[in-house]
Amino acid sequence: MDISVVVPLYDEIESLPELTSWISRVMDENRFTYEVILIDDGSSDGSWEMIRKLNKNNPFLKGIKFRRNYGKSAALNTGFEAAQGDVVITMDADLQDSPDEIPELYRRITEEKYDVVSGWKAKRHDPLSKTIPTKIYNAATRRMSGIHNLHDFNCGLKAYRKAVVKNIEVYGEMHRYIPVIAKWAGFVKIGEQIVEHRPRKYGKTKFGMSRFINGLLDLMSIFFVGKFGKRPMHFFGTMGVLSFLAGTIITIWMIADKLHAISKGEHYRDITGQPLFYIALVAVILGSQLFLTGFVAELVARSAPERNKYQIEETI
């Protein structure tokens, strides 16, 4: 099978007939073998009934229904598990992503050998209250992830080599960072394609401003787990040792300063009466706690069933 199109959706009953018809037309025109997987993330507007109706007229259309709303990441992860195509393409169900982009995305994966091609909505039909925070968020993500050639990490229109989606796990609200997750899994050939951003035709957006705060926290989680997930002591131990050493050096300096004053017969302050004493005390305690945290985290990591699970490209 050439292509699997994975579409997570929540209360998008009005757009589904037009979207599925559009996808089918593009696929037929390009003679692709394909499947469309619609994941209903607990819709309450009759979206599932519409999917069942569409399935009767389109044998290439499949549906998965969640009992309740779990979020976009859960829907994508489930779609990735079910996908069978050599190239997996994700898009939103609100008709803001154009299925006409599919042939070029497919070509870049198959001919240019990209692992991931992410869409970039260079011209957006959104208010400034949304576009300005998005630019800041994308700049921070580029800096922290090291993927400097992507301008729009949150674009729902992306294409993946099958091996990518079968070797990554998307959870929480990590769907914004699938390119970052793919990079940490060893899929480093990541490209970008300018795509059309269409105005929303039906309904309203399901995401609020809280996604920017959650997005930053998720990025920090991915950065830490990707870099230190199998060696947490390298992070906590280093921070702990530095903090402990700083506290120790300050303490030694205060003691030496007091002894010097005593030897000169000069007036001196009690060590416990100096603010630096409490800073040093906090640094020593914090350093010890960080070191112990790293030690416990190392024991947990060594006991995890995935401790020796690595990404293998091929064997002969």
Three-state secondary-structure class, residue 197: strand
Q: Where are the domains of the chain?
A: 3-228, 232-303
Pick the CATH number of 3-228 from 1.10.240.10, 3.40.1080.10, 3.10.580.10, 3.90.550.10: 3.90.550.10
Convert the pLDDT of each residue in 47-82 to its tens digit: 999 999 999 988 899 999 999 999 899 999 999 999
Whole-model pTM: value is 0.75
pLDDT at residue 226 greater than cutoff 80: no
pLDDT at residue 127 greater than cutoff 90: no
Q: Residue 101: exposed, middle, or buried by beta-carbon count in 10 A (0-12, 13-18, 19+)?
A: buried
Q: Among the residues of the chain, which ranges form H helices?
A: 16-29, 47-57, 72-82, 102-110, 128-145, 162-165, 178-184, 210-228, 232-264, 275-303
* Structure tokens given for 148: 């400097």
Residue 272: CB atoms within 10 Å: 9
Confidence of residue 230 (pLDDT cuts 50, 70, 90): confident
First to last CA, the chain: 25
Average pLDDT, integer, range 36-40 = 97
Report pLDDT for 210.
Answer: 61
Integer CA distances (angstroms), 216 to 138, 146, 212, in order: 10, 15, 6
